[in-house]
Amino acid sequence: MGKIWGAQDEGYKFPSQALRGDCGVGLLVQGVRHGVCGFQAVWGQRGLDFVVGAKKHLRRVQVKSTSSPGFGRYNVGAQHFHGRGAHAYTREEIDFVVAYIVPRNIWYVVPIKALLKKKHMQLYPDGSRWGGKYEKYCEAWHLLA
């Protein structure tokens, strides 16, 4: 998939979280258009970035991204805000969180069932002594098929 300007700089900081998120969504769409998976765009500000798949197997996707490592891991928020604070996504809201690690140009395709009631994911693209429970979802595009 494509890379964004400055993305290979390990400590690269985007001017805003909104711009970082827009770049993540843009890169995912680019990957979708290049045959990673089919999609039907459903853009909006209601907690769902878009839907991917075919007519009978649509998947609701929320895109997240991170650009700053900490202690060998990347923390990705898997939450949304409404009412009184942050809430974990539910199966009723989305099917997948697709997380992009900007400086590494790595994607994680994580099913919501792996995240239930969790507001954050710790991603270890270089491995971890403690397991790294989401590493099996690294570049797992087949899950969206």
Q: What is the pLDDT of residue 3?
A: 38
Q: What is the pLDDT of residue 30?
A: 57
pLDDT tens column, 103-126: 888 889 999 999 988 999 999 998
Report residue 134's pLDDT band, with 50, 70 and 90 as the boundaries.
Answer: very high
Please check whether residue 121 is in contact with residue 97, taking contact to mean a CB–CB distance below 8 angstroms.
yes
| DSSP one-letter string for 55-78 | TTEEEEEEEEEE--EETTEEEEE-
Give the end-to-end CA distance of the chain in Å, rounded to a whole number.
17
Asked, for residue 91, whether it belongs to a domain, the answer is yes
- Per-residue pLDDT, averaged over 65-86, amounts to 85
Asked, for residue 53, whether it belongs to a domain, the answer is yes
Number of domains in the chain: 1
d(CA 139, CA 145): 13
Asked, for residue 39, whether it belongs to a domain, the answer is yes
Asked, for residue 68, whether it belongs to a domain, the answer is yes
Q: What is the pLDDT of residue 83?
A: 77
Q: What is the pLDDT of residue 1?
A: 38
Which amino acid is it at 81? F
Report residue 8's pLDDT band, with 50, 70 and 90 as the boundaries.
Answer: very low
Of residues 19 and 5, more confidence is placed in 19
Asked, for residue 4, whether it belongs to a domain, the answer is no
| DSSP summary character for residue 113 | G
d(CA 34, CA 90): 29
At residue 5, does pLDDT exceed 50?
A: no
Asked, for residue 12, whether it belongs to a domain, the answer is no
Asked, for residue 31, whether it belongs to a domain, the answer is yes
